[in-house]
């Protein structure tokens, strides 16, 4: 059956990310900037494409995911783009956060802000670069695709390839209706020995939507492909393009498969997605110790339908916690060989741009135009439990703490999100043993960070975390503390824990408690200076939500 290009892309698109900030200066229809020869590939007419439907109603569909991926990626480039630099001075005036307590959960899709940055008028849809005539090859690309670490003009794309043919990476720019506007590149990519492909795609345009896929090539023909992926580039750092809508979660245990909440996230037209740790449970059932065992765990988890869906639907920013290695692992005592295997597998299975001077460094920062700055921490591998109750307590390294403090002080973004796998909240009712795994178990360093925020009058700070197997919006300390003003959102869990209590009007330190599987949706509006936080359940409904005004 032959269908139109528009219908084909609507059918095959996993999540059409709405471009609210399309720049106006990029020409349409120019050759790919990477110099790929125009006759590298031959594509036939439109045809049905990524035909695995997204079905959130199927129970226990552990291995029926859209991309049964179990393939490695080729490190095409490990480039660290230093985006630190002097930011505009932030306003010195202290601003309290005001809560709109009358806001009730809204079960509808959030309104999309009127765009302030528009795509070129009258763009011509290119022909000859459609994906639909090439059949899916889930055996060759068994664990899906992923994009990540997006910058205004570049992004990482990833897959694992299990075949023996030549592989071509294709990237195209699309509009909000998934019509192809520009053919960005066709590039030959060489998988690593494990089959992994990491490609740092450069020459992109800020605030644009991109589609990508990986193809098997025989002669001049593309004969099979991965599923389609999608990502959006952020605006330039000094560009204000209105509301930013993103999602986040944690604790994606396979017990929650097929992860309906992640499939809903994939369908939610998110600008990007955060995963703040326990992306897999490598210590589940038969715990992984060797590299091959860790690769097997990732292959198992990346095949799960919801996981596969959200990885392909939008760009990701990620960090880790303990279960990517072993439950509550101690960096001072765990065997180096196991940590090395787990670390290698972590980077192998993500669209992650490696740091050129410190390739295993996880902490880094990203901006989304003038609206948002994200500070993604490594709250696991640098801790020193032997120092926990001393004046030199080390939950994160002194280098990471200094970097974070300086970056926060220099940031002019109204919304500053600190992504930490472990909560910083001094949680009421937590035992001493439980607290020892959190920021509160390292009180001297926790106080040092929070005191820095107060003393330097750094406003708009939110902590985003996970780990505790329930969703929550909470003050990080009691009302008597000078740190009470700061709030934290526990995102998820998307796969761990059992359905239970929901309290949308909790009193005291906690403002919302959600003991159900969920992902968290954020709508940051820099113009109105509001942040809407909603917990989305397995049915796609808003379980609880609240709006805050800076």
Mean local confidence (pLDDT), 418-442:
89
Question: What single string gives the DSSP state of each residue in 138-177?
Answer: TTTSTT-EEEEEEETTEEEEEEE--SSSEEEEEEEEE-TT
Burial class (CB in 10 A: 0-12, 13-18, 19+), 452: middle
pTM, full prediction: 0.81
Tell me how far apart the alpha carbons of residues 433 and 395 are, in angstroms, rounded to a whole number.
Answer: 15
The per-residue pLDDT for range 283-302, each reduced to its tens digit, is 999 999 999 999 999 999 99
Confidence check: pLDDT of 19 > 70: no
Confidence check: pLDDT of 221 > 90: yes
Per-residue tokens: 389 = 């109750």
Peptide bond into 493 cis (omega under 30): yes
The answer to whether the beta carbons of residues 65 and 259 sit under 8 Å apart is no
> How distant, in Å, are the alpha carbons of 69, 148, 229, 345, 473 from that of 158?
12, 8, 10, 14, 33
Tell me how far apart the alpha carbons of residues 131 and 118 are, in angstroms, rounded to a whole number.
Answer: 26
- Residue 512, strand partner residues: 473
The per-residue pLDDT for range 113-145, each reduced to its tens digit, is 334 465 654 455 665 677 878 999 999 999 999
- The pLDDT score that the predictor gives to residue 160 is 98
181's enclosing H/E stretch is strand 180-189
Tell me how far apart the alpha carbons of residues 224 and 133 are, in angstroms, rounded to a whole number.
Answer: 9
Q: What percent of the chain has pLDDT over 70?
A: 76
The answer to whether the beta carbons of residues 29 and 182 sit under 8 Å apart is yes
The per-residue pLDDT for range 36-82, each reduced to its tens digit, is 332 223 222 223 333 233 333 333 332 223 232 333 333 233 323 33
- The pLDDT score that the predictor gives to residue 433 is 76
Mean local confidence (pLDDT), 382-404:
97
Confidence check: pLDDT of 507 > 90: no
Local structure of 357: helix, strand or coil:
coil
Peptide bond into 481 cis (omega under 30): no
Confidence check: pLDDT of 469 > 50: yes
The per-residue pLDDT for range 81-100, each reduced to its tens digit, is 333 333 333 333 333 333 43
Tell me how far apart the alpha carbons of residues 428 and 402 are, in angstroms, rounded to a whole number.
Answer: 29
Of residues 444 and 90, the one with the higher pLDDT is 444
Question: What single string gives the DSSP state of each residue in 413-432?
Answer: -SEEEEE-SS--S--TT--H
Tell me how far apart the alpha carbons of residues 347 and 342 are, in angstroms, rounded to a whole number.
Answer: 9
How high does pLDDT run on average in the chain? 81
Domains and CATH numbers, the chain: 244-549 (3.60.21.70)
Confidence check: pLDDT of 269 > 80: yes
Q: What are phi and psi of 99, to 5 degrees?
A: -100, 130
The per-residue pLDDT for range 246-255, each reduced to its tens digit, is 999 999 999 9
- The pLDDT score that the predictor gives to residue 428 is 74
Plot region of 356 (φ>0 → left; ψ -120 to 50 → alpha; else → beta): alpha
Tell me how far apart the alpha carbons of residues 84 and 49 are, in angstroms, rounded to a whole number.
Answer: 41
Q: Give the residue among 252, 379, 262, 242 at the shortest CA–CA distance from 312.
A: 262
Question: What single string gives the DSSP state of each residue in 442-511?
Answer: SHHHHHHHHHHHHHTT--SEEEEE--SSSEEEEESS-TTSTTTT-EEEE---SSSS----EETT--TTEE
Strand 209-218 and strand 229-232: the pairing is antiparallel
Q: Give the residue among 175, 178, 151, 167 at the shortest CA–CA distance from 213.
A: 167
Tell me how far apart the alpha carbons of residues 415 and 45 are, in angstroms, rounded to a whole number.
Answer: 46
Q: What are phi and psi of 308, to 5 degrees?
A: -60, -40
Q: Give the residue among 356, 358, 357 at the shortest CA–CA distance from 343.
A: 358
The answer to whether the beta carbons of residues 262 and 252 sit under 8 Å apart is yes
The answer to whether the beta carbons of residues 375 and 321 sit under 8 Å apart is no
Plot region of 69 (φ>0 → left; ψ -120 to 50 → alpha; else → beta): beta
The answer to whether the beta carbons of residues 70 and 280 sit under 8 Å apart is no
Confidence check: pLDDT of 486 > 90: yes
């Amino acid at each position: 059956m032959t269908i139109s290009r528009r219908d084909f892309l609507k059918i095959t698109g996993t999540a059409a990310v709405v471009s609210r900030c399309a720049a106006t200066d990029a020409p349409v229809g120019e050759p790919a900037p990477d110099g790929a020869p125009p006759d590298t590939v031959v594509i036939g007419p439109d045809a049905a494409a990524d035909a695995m439907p997204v079905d959130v109603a199927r129970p226990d569909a552990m291995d029926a995911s859209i991309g049964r991926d179990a393939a490695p990626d080729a490190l095409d480039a490990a480039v660290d783009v230093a985006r630190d630099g002097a930011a505009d001075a932030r306003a010195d005036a202290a601003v309290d956060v005001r809560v709109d307590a009358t806001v009730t959960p809204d079960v509808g899709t959030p309104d999309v802000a009127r765009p302030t940055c528009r795509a070129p008028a009258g763009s011509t849809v290119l022909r000859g670069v459609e994906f639909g005539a090439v059949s899916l090859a889930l055996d060759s690309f068994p664990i899906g695709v992923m994009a990540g670490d997006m910058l205004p003009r570049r992004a990482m794309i990833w897959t694992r390839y299990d075949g023996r043919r030549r592989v071509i990476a294709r990237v195209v720019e699309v509009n909000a209706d998934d019509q192809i506007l520009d053919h960005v590149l066709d590039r030959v990519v060489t998988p690593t020995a494990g089959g992994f492909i990491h490609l740092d795609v450069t020459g992109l345009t800020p605030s644009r939507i991109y589609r990508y896929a990986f193809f098997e090539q025989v002669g001049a023909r593309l004969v099979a492909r991965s599923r389609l992926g999608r990502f959006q580039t952020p605006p330039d750092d000094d560009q204000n393009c209105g509301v930013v809508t993103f999602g986040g979660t944690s604790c994606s245990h396979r017990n929650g498969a097929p992860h309906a909440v992640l499939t809903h996230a994939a369908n939610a037209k998110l600008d990007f997605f955060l995963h703040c740790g326990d992306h897999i449970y490598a210590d589940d059932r038969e715990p992984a110790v060797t590299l091959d065992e860790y690769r097997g765990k990732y292959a198992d988890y990346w095949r799960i339908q919801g996981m596969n869906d959200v990885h392909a639907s939008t760009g990701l920013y990620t960090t880790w916690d303990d279960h990517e290695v072993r439950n509550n692992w101690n960096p001072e005592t765990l065997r180096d060989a196991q940590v090395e295997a787990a670390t290698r597998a972590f980077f192998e299975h993500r669209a992650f741009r490696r740091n050129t001077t410190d390739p295993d460094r996880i902490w880094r920062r990203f901006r989304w135009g003038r609206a948002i700055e994200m500070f993604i921490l490594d709250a696991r591998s640098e801790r020193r439990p032997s120092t926990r109750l001393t004046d030199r307590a080390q939950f994160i390294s002194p280098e990471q703490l200094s970097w974070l403090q300086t970056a926060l002080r220099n940031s002019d973004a109204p919304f500053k999100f600190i992504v930490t796998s472990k909560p910083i909240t001094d949680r009421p009712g937590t035992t001493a043993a439980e607290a020892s795994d959190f920021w509160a178990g390292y009180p001297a360093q926790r106080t040092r960070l929070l005191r820095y925020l107060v003393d330097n009058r750094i406003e708009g700070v939110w902590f985003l975390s996970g780990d505790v197997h329930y969703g929550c919006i909470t003050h990080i300390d009691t009302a008597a503390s000078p740190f009470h003003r700061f709030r934290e959102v526990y995102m998820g869990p998307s796969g761990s824990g059992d359905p239970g209590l929901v309290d949308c009007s909790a009193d005291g330190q906690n403002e919302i408690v959600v003991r159900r599987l969920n992902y968290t949706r954020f709508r940051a509006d820099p113009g109105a200076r509001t942040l809407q936080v909603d917990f989305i359940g397995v049915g796609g409904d808003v379980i609880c939500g609240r709006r805050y005004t800076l």
